[in-house]
A and B are shown apart, each in its own frame.
Chain A
Amino acid sequence: MSCYQTIQDYAFRAFGYGERLLPRSDFTLCEQFTLIGSGMMWNIYFGVVAVVTGFVLANLLAVGKNAAPPWARKPAEWFIFLFRGSPLFIQFFFAYFLFLNLKSVSSVFDPLSSAWAGALIVLFLNTAAYSADIFYGALRSIPRGDIEAADAYGLSGWSRFREVMWPTMMRLAWPAYTNEAIFLFHATTLVFFSGFPAWQQKGDALYYANYFADKTFNPFVPYPILAFYFILLTLVIISLFGMVNTWLNRHLPPNRRPKLKFKPNLLR
C-alpha cells in the first residue's frame, strides 16, 4: 500500500472518517506519521478552543480577583485556588465520573461524558484559572504612573480600564501567557489517558502513539514522532503569540520591545 493511499485512508481517522480498522501488523513509518498526525488534530482542537474561551473567562476572573468587594473577590480566588491547587489529571477523572452521574439525571448531559465536550470544559476551566492568575499578577504590576495619567485625562471606570489598564495588562502578561498556552497544548495529551474513553479508537496523538508502542513493543519510533509534532506545534504557537506580542508593543521602538522567551513548564 502506497503512502499516498495510507494518507487517504487515515488522515482523518481521528474524527472517524476513512478506513475504520487501524493497521494491525507490518507498521510502516508512513502509517505512524499519518495516524499520529491525525490524532494531533484533536490536540489542536482542544487547545485552540480552550485557549480562546479560557482567555475571556481569565480576564473576568483577574478583574474579579482584583476587585475590592468580597462577593466578586472571593469566588474568583476560590475558583483559581480550586483549579490551580489540584492536579489536572485528577480534575479530568473527577469530571468524567461526575458527567457520567449527571448522564443518568437527564439526557441533556449526554455529550458531556464524551471527550470532545467534557474534557474541553475541564481544559477551559483549568486554563482560565491559570491564565487568570497571570493576568491578575500583570494587573497588580501596572505602573502607578499609567493610572495617574489616565486619571489626569479624566478617564474613569470602563473607559479607563479599556483604554489604559487592559492594554498594559496584556503587554505585561503576554510572555507568561504564551508559556501558559504552550503548556495547555501539552496538557491536552492527558485527555484520553484519564477516564475519557476514545470511542471507536478516535483518539488524540498520544493515544495513537501509545497504540503503536503497544503493538510494536518499540516506543522509540512513535513517541519521537509525537514529540516531533509537538515541537512543530510549539513553534507555531510561539510565532503566532510573538506576532501578537509585536502588535501589542507596536508603540515602542523595535529595540525596546520585550522579547518572548520560551520557558518550558514541567507538569500540571
Chain B
Amino acid sequence: MKCPDWDEPIRQGSDFIVCEAAKMPLGSSPQWVHESYGFTLAVLTFAIVFGAFAANVLFGAMQAVPQNQIETAEAYGLSQRQTFWRILVPQMWTYALPGLSNLWMVLIKATPLLFLLGVEDIVYWARELGGSKTAKFTAYPHEDWRMWYFLGLLVFYLAFTRVSEVVLKRITNRLSHGQATLGGDAQRKAT
C-alpha cells in the first residue's frame, strides 16, 4: 500500500486524482525518467501488437517447411529438439521472410502515429521547429516552414522504405540459396 491514509474517491467530477506516492513515474523524478518511461511504453505497445502478427507469420512459415524434411530428420534419428533447431528453424526463414518484410514496412509507417500519444518523435519536431517564429521569441525568426519540413519527412520515409526494400531483397536472395523453392531453382539455373 503506497497511500494507506487515502480515503477520497479517485474520480472527482471530471478530475482523475492519484496520490503523489502512487504516480508513475514519480512527480519528483528527473525529466529523462519521464521521457524514457513514455518511450518504453510506446516500444512495449508496438512490441506486443507486432509480436502477435510476427508470431502468426512465423507459425505459417513453420507449417510451410516441407514435411519430408522433418521426416528425413527423424529417419536420421534426430531428436525432437534437434529436428526443431537444426532442420525446421534454418529452413523456415525463406517462407517467413515475405510476411516479415511486409510487417516491417507496415511498422515503419506506423511509428509516426506515436506522435498522437505525445512521444516527441520526428513528426513532433517537424511541427515544432517548422512553425512560424517571430523575432520576439527566437533568435532565428522565419516564416511557416512546416511544408518543407514535412516534405523532408516524406522523402525520409520514402528513402527508408526504399533502403528496406533493397536490403530485404538481398536477404531473400541469400536465404533462398539452395532451397527447394522457385527462387532457389532460379538461382541454381543461373549458375
Seen from chain A, the residues whose Cβ lies within 8 Å of a Cβ on chain B are 81-82, 85-91, 93-94, 97-98, 100-101, 193, 215-218, 266-268
Contact = CB atoms under 8 A, between A and B. Distances in A.
A134 to B, nearest CB: 14
Contacts, number: 70
A133 to B, nearest CB: 12
Interface stretch (B36-44, B153-161, B179-187): B153-161
A216 B109 contact: no
A267 B106 contact: yes
Given A94-B147, A97-B147, A87 B110 contact: yes
Contacts of A217: 11, 14-16
A100 B147 contact: yes
B59 interface: no
Instruction: Return the 8 tightest CB-CB contacts between A and B, nearest first.
Output: A97-B147, A94-B150, A85-B161, A87-B109, A267-B110, A86-B157, A97-B146, A85-B158
B188 interface: no
Secondary structure at the A interface, as helix, strand, loop or mixed, is: helix
A82 B151 CA distance: 12
Contacts of B146: 93, 97
Interface of B: 11, 14-16, 49-50, 53, 103, 106, 108-110, 112-113, 115-116, 123, 126-127, 144, 146-147, 150-151, 153-154, 157-158, 161-162
B123 A90 contact: yes
A86 B151 contact: no
A81 B110 contact: no
A216 B14 contact: yes
A104 to B, nearest CB: 10
Contacts of A268: 106, 109
A37 B146 CA distance: 33
Nearest to A81: B158
Contacts of A216: 14
Given A81-B158, A86-B157, A216-B14, A266 B147 contact: no
A90 B150 contact: yes
A31 B48 CA distance: 34
Given A87-B112, A100-B147, 20 more contacts: A85-B162, A89-B112, A89-B115, A90-B150, A90-B153, A90-B157, A93-B123, A93-B126, A93-B127, A97-B146, A98-B147, A193-B116, A215-B14, A216-B14, A266-B49, A266-B106, A267-B106, A267-B109, A267-B113, A268-B109
A267 B110 CA distance: 6
Contacts of A87: 108-110, 112-113, 157
A106 to B, nearest CB: 16
Contacts of A218: 11
B110 A93 contact: no
A91 B50 CA distance: 23
Identify the interface centre among A81, A85, A88, A218: most chain B CB within 10 Å of its CB: A85
Given A87-B109, A217-B16, A266 B53 contact: yes
Contacts of A86: 109, 154, 157-158, 161
A87 B144 CA distance: 22
B157 A85 contact: yes
A266 B158 CA distance: 19
A218 B153 CA distance: 34
Nearest to B157: A86
Contacts of B112: 87, 89-90
27 contacts: A85-B161, A86-B157, A87-B109, A87-B113, A87-B157, A88-B109, A89-B109, A89-B115, A89-B123, A90-B150, A90-B153, A90-B157, A93-B126, A94-B147, A94-B150, A94-B154, A97-B147, A97-B150, A98-B147, A101-B147, A193-B116, A217-B11, A266-B49, A266-B50, A266-B53, A266-B106, A267-B109
